[in-house]
Structure 1
Amino acid sequence: MGTLDVLNMIFAFIISFVFTFAATPLVRRLAFKIGAIDVPRDKRRMHKKPTPRIGGLAIVFGFLVATLCFTDMSRQLAGTLCGAAIIVALGIIDDCNALDAKFKFLVQIVAALVVVFVGDIKIDVFTNPNIFSNDPYWVLPPWLSVAVTVIWIVFITNAVNFIDGLDGLAAGVSAIMSVSLVFIAIRVGEASIATLGIALMGSCFGFLPFNFNPAKIFMGDTGSTFLGFMLATLSIQGVFKSYAVISFAVPLLILGLPLFDASFAMIRRMAKGQSPMIADRGHLHHRLIDMGFSQKQTVFILYAISGVLGIAAVLLAESGALRALLLLICVLIFLLIGSLLGKNSYVHHIEKHEDEGENTEVKKDEQN
């Protein structure tokens, strides 16, 4: 990786940051004009007043300018941008007029297939699950490679969307995950992937000043699904291809926070007989809020968790003998967090309802 590559990365960050920062107020005005406003109508919403969304347009704009200026167009990039265009168009429509979850899911699958067939981007190698085999690699058959890739892209796209529930959370966590992807891409000499990751990071940082609590604008599905889509495709190109021996471990750690939250949410909903795509108030950030943390405290706690996982991913890719230990520790941390959050949130929920019941009885006695 030469001096020109380093300069491209530096300028990609600056340009994406500046253009996103400059475009966000303009997008905010546009949101008011077209009625793309998020009005809090239920307890799941954490904001108290109507707030413009589609802020993700500014993120997309800053990223696109930096990408076109400082990266060479390739088949992989063309496929990625075509798929991203579908995701962004879907997000804009959804932010203006709520779409059916099943329809969005189908369109996301189409966008992922565009990445696979137009961009020729696939997950085709895993660590061999057979511990008795001398071959460390397991090459997937073409049909399974396509299926795994589509599932990965669609799942990450929705996972990042799921964590977009507090001011600054999705943008900050996406920036942190981008940093980890950039470090690994640089380490393996993938300059183009590193530049894309830095452009994505710069766009997130450019948007954050307007999105911190209290937010002046939300990124909406336009931004959260775009960030998830890009992180998913970049992880395939920059991590899976270069670290096939450790397979899912590194990208799972980098994207661990939204992956864990989305998995936990879907399992919880299906256990209740609900659609896994239905919105609820059981995400990690909701549970931390229910435990008594403020919005800002919750956001910084989740930033810290994402940062630790990102560092662990980089170390895992470099450490050799420590790989298994690091992975085990991270898994145990996630299991501990999940059990604590689930237990404390449940206890808080029961106590809250008991208090409400007592207050109701007192009011009835007073009325009598």
Structure 2
Amino acid sequence: MNDFKLLIIAIVLSFFLTLVLGIIIIPFLKRLKVGQSIRAEGPQSHYSKSGTPTMGGIVMIAAILITTLTSGRLNKDLYIVLFSTIGFGLIGFIDDFIKVVLKRNLGLKAYQKLIGQITIAAIIAVYQSKVSIYGTRVLIPFLNNYIDLGFLYVPFIAFVVVATTNSVNLTDGLDGLASGVTLIVSSFFSLIALNMGFFSIATFSAALTGACLGFLRFNAYPAKVFMGDTGSMALGGAIASIAILMNLTLFIPIVGGIYFAEALSVIIQVISFKTTGKRVFKMSPLHHHFELSGWKETKIVVVFWSVTLILCIIGLYSLK
């Protein structure tokens, strides 16, 4: 059986596991009354979503874990991407648990999240600098050349991991947005990993693709469950580690352009308001700006998915 067929099997298995686990776990989340709280300063159209079960990311993490551990492709790289996915997912889970179960609206303090994120990110960065045949070099898009970051490699990679994870977290604000965008991005990395010979990472990426696709059954508009920080942090950790282990760190802003735009909109909004007292966007992250501009939620999601698909095609071209 060739490697491409194994990827299809991983996608299909993860997809069906997500469906089955979702049918089992989502009613359980409802009984626990772990409903999403809607921010008072958020769009008024979101108030109707209050009480929708959250922490659904558990479903995706479980499906990915089962699929990859039974794939027969176990190696150190696979353990690192699983470590990143589960590690960041655990931080998100603790944050969700404090907010929705213990009813403490603020969840983990910012510095507590950051300590956990930096710790995981540093481990990934050090591992890659020691294990990769490219050492501290990263591939430059379009040029097909590597740049050696030297002693800056570990802090740079750690920054990328933390930034990517939080950017994915910010993207998770509309039904099906983060799961759909990540489905497309993970499909890109799955094909690239297969082509570059990173078979364990290709299998993991395929499992991630299947899990996101299956989760859309419950998370597409109108969402029956939200992934919560449990899911969005796990997805961010997964995407960041996949790219880094293939030395494709600089491709994240390209194929993950939507993540980047969402995070940048928040940064611009905060800086502008604090320095001039004026807001650049009607609301940040970016998807809320379009909502308040009159776009329907489903239109925003489809447009952002489409943009991601185009960016991934550009990403493929940049590797030639």
Q: CA deviation at 1:186?
A: 2.5
Gaps of 5+ in 1: 241-246, 275-279, 319-368
| Aligned match of 1:359 | none
Q: Does the 8 Å CA contact 1:76/1:118 hold for their aligned counterparts?
A: no
| Aligned match of 1:201 | 209
Q: Does the 8 Å CA contact 2:186/2:206 hold for their aligned counterparts?
A: yes
Question: 1:12-161 residue pairs with structure 2 within 5 A?
Answer: 12-44=10-42, 46-48=46-48, 49-97=50-98, 98-117=107-126, 124-126=136-138, 137-141=146-150, 143-161=151-169
Give, in whole Å, the separation in 2 of the partners of 1:168 and 1:121.
36
Q: CA deviation at 1:73?
A: 2.2
User: Whose relative contact order is higher, 1 or 2, with alpha carbons under 8 Å and at least 6 apart?
Assistant: 2
- RMSD of equivalent CA atoms: 2.3
Give, in whole Å, the separation in 2 of the partners of 1:283 and 1:82.
28
Task: Select which of 292, 303, 318 maps to 2:305.
Answer: 303
Give, in whole Å, the separation in 1 of the partners of 2:247 and 2:31.
41
Give, in whole Å, the separation in 2 of the partners of 1:157 and 1:290.
26
Give, in whole Å, the separation in 1 of the partners of 2:243 and 2:26.
31
Give, in whole Å, the separation in 2 of the partners of 1:108 and 1:121.
21
Is 1:184–2:186 an aligned residue pair? no
CA distance 1:55–1:203, shift in 2 (3 Å)? same
Q: What is the CA deviation profile of residues 217-252 of structure 1, one whole-angstrom value per residue up to 9, with x for unaligned ones?
A: 000000011001100110112352xxxxxx72x332
Gaps of 5+ in 2: 99-106, 276-281
CA distance 1:71–1:293, shift in 2 (3 Å)? farther
Q: Which one-letter code corresponds to 2:240 in the other structure?
A: A
Give, in whole Å, the separation in 1 of the partners of 2:316 and 2:11.
21
Q: CA deviation at 1:72?
A: 2.4
Q: Secondary structure at the match of 1:52?
A: coil
Task: Select which of 276, 294, 303 maps to 1:292.
Answer: 294
Number of residue pairs matched by the alignment: 297
Larger Rg: 1
CA distance 1:183–1:79, shift in 2 (3 Å)? closer
Give, in whole Å, the separation in 2 of the partners of 1:171 and 1:289.
19
Give, in whole Å, the separation in 2 of the partners of 1:315 and 1:159.
24
Q: CA deviation at 1:127?
A: 6.2
* TM-score (structure 2 length as normaliser): 0.85
CA distance 1:177–1:83, shift in 2 (3 Å)? closer
| Aligned match of 2:260 | 259
Q: Does the 8 Å CA contact 1:162/1:262 hold for their aligned counterparts?
A: yes
CA distance 1:116–1:218, shift in 2 (3 Å)? same
Is 1:237–2:239 an aligned residue pair? no
Q: CA deviation at 1:25?
A: 2.8
Give, in whole Å, the separation in 2 of the partners of 1:257 and 1:199.
22
* TM-score (structure 1 length as normaliser): 0.75
